[in-house]
Amino acid sequence: MTFTPDVVAQIARHMNDDHAEDNVLIVRGLGGVGAASAARMSGMDADGMDFEATVQGIAVPVRIPFRQRLTERRQIRGEAVRMYQEACAVLGLEPRH
């Protein structure tokens, strides 16, 4: 499945505006960028989400794969929630939602 640029922009806007702290936890816990001070979703496709993490003022690209290839837009939310919850578990944090 190919998500249109409009859909990707909508998802990125939601992730960056409403889940900025979650993005940081995802790149720290699942992306191996423990020193990230910020992270913005920069794109996605059916196989994963792309983030731009900030580490000591430098932009670092981070790719987080989905558990499986997505075939429908409605699956995106579930994968984002899973990534957040798994990142919290890796980092030893209690999920806030």
Say what the pLDDT of residue 2 is.
86
Instruction: Write the burial class of residue 74 (CB in 10 Å: 0-12 exposed, 13-18 middle, 19+ buried).
Output: exposed
Q: Give the pLDDT band (50/70/90) at residue 97.
A: confident
Structure tokens at 16: 């960056």
- Residue count of the chain: 97
- Sheet with 48-55, strands from edge to edge, namely 38-45, 48-55, 58-65
Residues 12-50 pLDDT 10s: 999 999 999 999 999 999 999 999 999 999 999 999 999
Is 3.20.180.10 the CATH number for 5-91? yes
Backbone angles phi, psi at 56, to 5 degrees: 50, 45
Question: pTM score, two decimals?
Answer: 0.94
